[in-house]
Amino acid sequence: MENKKELKNWLDNFQLKHPLVIAGPCSAETEAQVLNIAHQLKHTDATILRAGIWKPRTRPGNFEGVGALGLKWLQKAKAETGMLTATEVANANHVSLALEHDVDVLWIGARTTVSPFVVQEIANALKGTNKIVLVKNPVNPDLSLWLGAVERLHTANIKNIGVIHRGFSTYEKTYYRNNPEWQLPIELQNRFPDLPLILDPSHIAGRRDIISELCQTGLDLNYDGLMIETHMDPENAWSDAEQQITPDTLIKIMASLQVRNETGHAADYKNKLNTMRTQIDLIDHQLIDILGKRMQIAEQIGLLKKEHNVAVLQAKRWNAILGRMILQGKEKDLSEEFILRVFKAVHQESINHQKNVINN
């Protein structure tokens, strides 16, 4: 993408003293609900009111949104509160209807980002628009696919572009509803530092109790804004009830966040150092998670060896692993001494886990 610098200009227009906050219900349910939440959010740090009008559901039978009728509710909320409005578009017809109702921010959802054909249709429908268009990461962790969607919009002469990190689907049960895979947005940020990056902690978390900690991590990694699902009565929301918070909770979360807004060389050094340390912390957490999974498999191997009366230590197998890891370590500029220390410790822990299983 050329002229990347211009991509962050639309953020500057807000002249905010805090990160950009997009908030509102997962789904527009009734006119009263949309207007009520809009007036409540007017007294928070939220600048943009979001609400899902069309809701792509994994399986049929679930609430799939009120449709175009909800756009009139957003339009009325905008007139009454002055807040900008935002909704998800999944095809060219959605775009046409959203533009007709003067929606200010349109986002492309994770399920849509995976389809270059649909993204191109949306880009064609938006060609030359001055609306803000945000692209959520694809469901699967594919950075090229994510950037490809952005490039299609940029090629369509859409100036006000940003991306939303909402996490990635995984077949494993994890701490999150959608695994953050922080290394992908970090890589995106490193390659395109002027592409606005917004965190969607609601979809990553899948539950409201960890939204605050995710917001802080996002700010520590220099994210430009937050998209937080906010509802007057989250427990009775028509969709994604577990991950929505109240306006009062949003106020508390924003008040608790540490925002780095200092300027100058010393502050710049501290901000960069803090960002890098946060990246290391995230990688360390991933290492612990991976090591834990490795030991679980070691225990399964221990059970199998116990059933077949096989010795725990398999020297030939161990030597092969060690040789392979030394070679891979060299490719990453890791010394042989370091690899030996690390994998000897990992191997010993694996043996201990296998012994515990065999002896119990």
Which pair of structure tokens corresponds to residue 351? 């043996």
Predicted local distance difference test score (pLDDT) of residue 2? 53
Could you tell me the pLDDT band of residue 318, with boundaries at 50, 70 and 90? confident
Q: Is the confidence at residue 165, as pLDDT, over 80?
A: yes
Our measurement of the distance from residue 243's CA atom to the centroid of its chain's CA atoms, rounded to an integer in Å, reads 14
Q: Is the confidence at residue 351, as pLDDT, over 70?
A: yes
Residue 201 sits in the same domain as residue 272: no
We report the CATH number of the domain holding residue 292 as 1.20.59.10
Summarised one tens digit per residue, pLDDT across range 118-135 is: 999 999 999 988 999 999
Angle, CA 102 vertex, CA 154 and CA 67 arms, to 5°: 100
Predicted local distance difference test score (pLDDT) of residue 145? 96
Residue 119 sits in the same domain as residue 165: yes
Summarised one tens digit per residue, pLDDT across range 204-214 is: 999 999 999 99
The residue among 62 and 65 whose pLDDT is bigger is 65
Positive or negative: CA dihedral 148, 152, 157, 158: negative
> Which residues, 6+ apart, have CB-to-CB distance to 47 below 8 Å?
14, 16, 20, 21, 22, 83, 84
Predicted local distance difference test score (pLDDT) of residue 172? 75
> Which residues, 6+ apart, have CB-to-CB distance to 131 below 8 Å?
99, 103, 104, 105, 106, 158, 160
Residue 218 sits in the same domain as residue 296: no
In the chain, the number of structural domains is: 2
Residue 283 sits in the same domain as residue 143: no
Predicted local distance difference test score (pLDDT) of residue 263? 62
Residues of the chain by 3-state class (helix, strand, coil), percent to 5: 55, 10, 35
Residue 253 sits in the same domain as residue 288: no
Alpha helix segments (H runs only) across 114-233: 116-126, 143-155, 183-191, 201-205, 211-220
Exposed e or buried b per residue across 166-202, where buried means at least 16 C-beta atoms within 10 angstroms of its C-beta: bbbeeeeeeebbbebbbebbbebbeebeebbbbbbbb
> Which residues, 6+ apart, have CB-to-CB distance to 218 below 8 Å?
165, 199, 201, 226
Task: Determine the structural domain holding residue 328 and report its residue range.
Answer: 268-359
Domain C-terminal end among 209, 236, 261: 261
Q: Is the confidence at residue 36, as pLDDT, over 60?
A: yes
We report the CATH number of the domain holding residue 252 as 3.20.20.70
Residue 285 sits in the same domain as residue 331: yes
Q: Is the confidence at residue 139, as pLDDT, over 80?
A: yes
Predicted local distance difference test score (pLDDT) of residue 171? 78
Residue 54 sits in the same domain as residue 90: yes
Residue 53 sits in the same domain as residue 198: yes
- Count of H-run helices and E-run strands, the chain: 14, 8
The residue among 55 and 51 whose pLDDT is bigger is 51
Residue 214 sits in the same domain as residue 342: no
Predicted local distance difference test score (pLDDT) of residue 4? 54
- Whether 166 and 141 have beta carbons less than 8 Å apart is answered as no
Could you tell me the pLDDT band of residue 267, with boundaries at 50, 70 and 90? confident
Average pLDDT over residues 189-215: 96
Domain C-terminal end among 261, 290, 318: 261
pTM: predicted TM-score of the whole model, two decimal places: 0.83
Residue 184 sits in the same domain as residue 289: no
